[in-house]
Amino acid sequence: MDKLRSVAKINEKIKKGEAVVLTAEEFKQMLRNEELATTESVDVVTCATCAIMSGTAAILSIPIAERNEFERADKVWLNGIPAFPGPCPNERLGIVDVFVYGTARANHEYGGGHLFREIVEGKQIEVIVKTGDRIIERKISNKDLQFARMITTRSSFKNYMAFVNPEEGEVGSIFSLRGLKGPYKEISVTGSGEINPLENDPMLKTIGIGTRIMVNGATGYVIGEGTRSSEEKPNLSVTANMREMDAEFMGGFVTSTGPECITSIAVPIPVINDDVFSNLKIMDEEIKLPIADIHDRIPFVESNYAAVWQNTDLEIRFDAHKCVQCDVCDVEEYCPTNAFSRSKGFDACKCFNCGACIFLCPEGAFKGNLGRIKIYDKDIPITLRQSNRSKANELARKLKNQIVEREFMLTAPVDYLR
């Protein structure tokens, strides 16, 4: 490793206000414009992904009652979502520590992802504790929480895949809103392509245990590889303080089989040597997009991420003049983030830019080009995106700005994952 390009040296440039920091979006555009970019001219590239990340959970410490009012919690629910009390029993302290899954659910429409966002937003949360034959109820907000930390078991996959149903009928799945229609009628895609952190550092030369990152807008850290991580498809386990998070980068996403969890992760890639810089040049056109049969989730053909993110629309547009207030509105019923209602209209802050509304609305009130993918002789429309590249770009810009303003310093890993 070139000592002249160490993380410490780059931090010195950041402190002096001399570092050149680019988002992945900006860097890739420079390459497409054939502008000069070298190892010496770029110091940091901020990469990000915003997607459905099932492997997300939270550890919360909640004051419930006065000391000695109950011995220990047997069961706990937060807004109806089951939580797992422990591992510390906090005997007779009136405190309950709980572990909550991002995929846990109160019902088909409300799950852990929704709960996490509402905690960060400061909304009141109804807590129910069962202790012996007694029930204790209390309403709390994030100000009451003594500890609130998010952890992921696997997140920020290097790349994911697309799903198609080759058979007649519909198949319910977390990768669809009403069931994936077949044969070959639509494709659901996941993955942020060329701006994804692990696409830009696939050999994990700068990302390791202790790397400072951003999770849902809060400063966080990599704590290791995640479950199902492999050399070909690495992913990360990360953690961050929920009190510092920004709700716009997180939330719930309702699929045809129930609610999932939205999580966003941004990682600064320091340009420490030529190999790291070379890997940063990866483009959507070069990144394989495996396409799998939804029945067994085994890829049988592949495309690339240019089909998803190049010459397509990253954001969905709503034309209120074309909304005719249908008696039954499929967009209102199936929008996975409840971003639209006939009474309140379109809420851009809640919109995940998944694009499902384009195909749900018969009047064409929602517009956006999601792209198409060719499989054999079939040209199949993308009807659902479970990664939000627009929001990922926004998070990468947020991280860049904090680095430029010297509010976020880089860290070298204390240990490497490869």
Q: What pLDDT, in 10s, does the model give residues 242-255?
A: 999 999 999 999 99
Instruction: Name the pLDDT band for 2 (thresholds 50, 70, 90).
Output: very low
pTM value? 0.96
Residue 223's pLDDT is 98
Residue 3's pLDDT is 43
Rounded Cα distance between 332 and 329, Å, is: 5
Q: How many CB atoms lie within 10 A of CB 301?
A: 15
Look up tokens 């070379």; give the residue: 278
Compute the residue count for the chain. 418
3-state secondary structure of 32: helix
Residue 1's pLDDT is 40
Mean pLDDT of 198-206: 97
Model confidence over 140-152: pLDDT tens digits?
A: 999 999 999 999 9
Instruction: Name the pLDDT band for 159 (thresholds 50, 70, 90).
Output: confident
Model confidence over 259-313: pLDDT tens digits?
A: 999 999 999 999 999 999 999 999 999 999 999 999 999 999 999 999 999 999 9
Question: Which of these, 418, 399, 372, 27, lies nearest to 206 by C-alpha position?
Answer: 418
CB 398 within 8 A of CB 50: no
Greatest CA span in the chain, whole angstroms? Answer: 71
> Please, where are the H alpha helices in 225-283?
274-279
Model confidence over 93-127: pLDDT tens digits?
A: 999 999 999 999 999 999 999 999 999 999 999 99
Instruction: Name the pLDDT band for 4 (thresholds 50, 70, 90).
Output: low
Residue 150's pLDDT is 98
Contacts of 411 (CB under 8 A, 6+ apart): 7, 210, 211, 212, 221
State the average pLDDT for the chain: 96
Question: For residue 308, what is the enclosing H or E element?
Answer: helix 306-309
Model confidence over 37-51: pLDDT tens digits?
A: 999 999 999 999 999
> Please, where are the H alpha helices in 208-305?
274-279
Domain definitions of the chain by residue range: 56-151
Confidence check: pLDDT of 331 > 70: yes
The dihedral through the CA atoms of 276, 277, 280, 283 has a sign that is: negative
